[in-house]
Amino acid sequence: MRVVLATESYRSSSKNPAFSGVAIFVERLARYLAEAGHEVMVITPSPEFFDGPSTITYVSLRSSASEQIGKSCGGPMEERPLKNLTVVNLPSWPNPFRSSSRIVAPLGLTAIKYFLQKFRPDIIHLQDPAEIGITVLRAAKKLRTPVILTSHSYLEFSSSYLQFLGPLSGFAEKMLLDHIVRTYNECDAITTPTSVLGKTLKKLGVLPKIYTVSNGVELDKFSPGFPNSSIMDKYSIPKGKDVVLYVGRLDKDKSLEIVLKAIPSILPVSQNAHFVFVGDGSSGEEYKELARKLKVDERVSWTGYISHDSNDLPEIYRLAKVFVMPSIEGQGIAALEAMASGVPVVAANAGGLRELIKNGRNGILFKFGNPKSLSRAVVSVLNNEEKAEQYGRNGRLRASEHDLHNSLKNMVKVYEAVIR
């Protein structure tokens, strides 16, 4: 099979890593498909700005040798140790609203049809109804190539970036929703990581068949165990503390202000608690300033970005007494990883997390947007070791239903069904 993965976010550079669930999802899928012998092309923004305005880099990966096939005017070439994987880096610049994504230059968008004609895919898999996704979809229609789209998130993800419009934000949200539904209805099939997200899309008027395919989790990598104490020294995390952990982007849509506002009411009753935020993002400095204003900054550690491939990340999870996820997620890869690591999860009672977390069995669901509700949930885990251990064991069992290899195989089955 010849598969195109079109995405606004891809972890294609250690210099400028895209730390997002979509980026992780696409890279894992691309690797799996390539290793299984399929021909794969990833169309994505360049990891850093190219000097030449007409720069388009087409990187073909064959036995660790890079070959430039398209037109290039000075763009960097990258080698990757995977056969059958081609990465098209379209010239781009940073997105001022979201640090893990980039905006593609107009020239890059006009080149997409050329690359699709050159590659001749059997199926195209979109990740976002944004500029690359829309352009690829239009080209696919002309080439009569089947298209599927994975819906990774709820509308709240995008609407959180529209609040600066003030009284016009409601109108902008409606226009955005109409655009999303219209785009989805041009596809041949949709996949969602949870069935609850699929049901939401149907209610909104999405017509193509919707398949549920979990994001999956690497059960061997993320597993229960005792952490290496050196990890605390490396990231300046105080020893002997009850770690409350968050892993992910530090962006507006992640609602981390809810966690920070809950800390003052957690500390008096769970005095040994210490909060660790892993990740980077466009709102990082705002969150740090809020911690200072709330006078809880001494009880918070910010590790910065840690690569998803790093051996440090599983060790960080093993440090935690509880994992918090305050945002509305399509599923939540980090929550799955925490569960696989045997860590109790406290998550917002919203979105796909409601399907992942069974309240009072493998974690606790709190009222979305409510710091007091989050505070009560965290305290109930930290102050009840027996309950915490039960949540951790049940979470690991629940995560085992989402084995990554099975999820990737299920995605290939969707491709085969759509192509037929």
Spatial separation of the C-alpha atoms in residues 414 and 407, rounded to whole Å:
11
Spatial separation of the C-alpha atoms in residues 314 and 49, rounded to whole Å:
32
How far, rounded to the nearest angstrom, does the alpha carbon of residue 40 sit from its chain's CA centroid? 21
pTM: 0.86
Fold (topology level) of 230-402? Rossmann fold (3.40.50)
**Angle of the 169-184 helix axis to the 195-204 helix axis, nearest 10:** 100
Q: What is the pLDDT of residues 81-120, one digit of tens each?
A: 567 888 888 888 777 666 666 778 777 788 899 899 999 9
Residue 16 has phi, psi (to 5 degrees) of: -135, 70
- Give which of 210, 193, 213 is closest to 201, Cα–Cα: 210
What mean pLDDT, rounded, does the chain reach?
86
Secondary-structure class of domain 2-216+404-419 per CATH: alpha beta
- Give which of 331, 111, 367 is closest to 212, Cα–Cα: 331
Question: Can you read off the two tokens belonging to residue 85?
Answer: 């994987």
More confident residue, 99 or 202: 202
pLDDT recorded at residue 309: 85
pLDDT recorded at residue 412: 98
Q: With 50 as the cut, is the pLDDT of residue 343 above it? A: yes
Instruction: Enter the DSSP assignment of 219.
Output: T
Average pLDDT over residues 192-215: 95
Q: First CA to last CA across the chain, in angstroms?
A: 12
Percent of the chain whose pLDDT exceeds 90: 68
pLDDT recorded at residue 15: 47
Domain with CATH 3.40.50.2000 in the chain: 2-216+404-419, 230-402
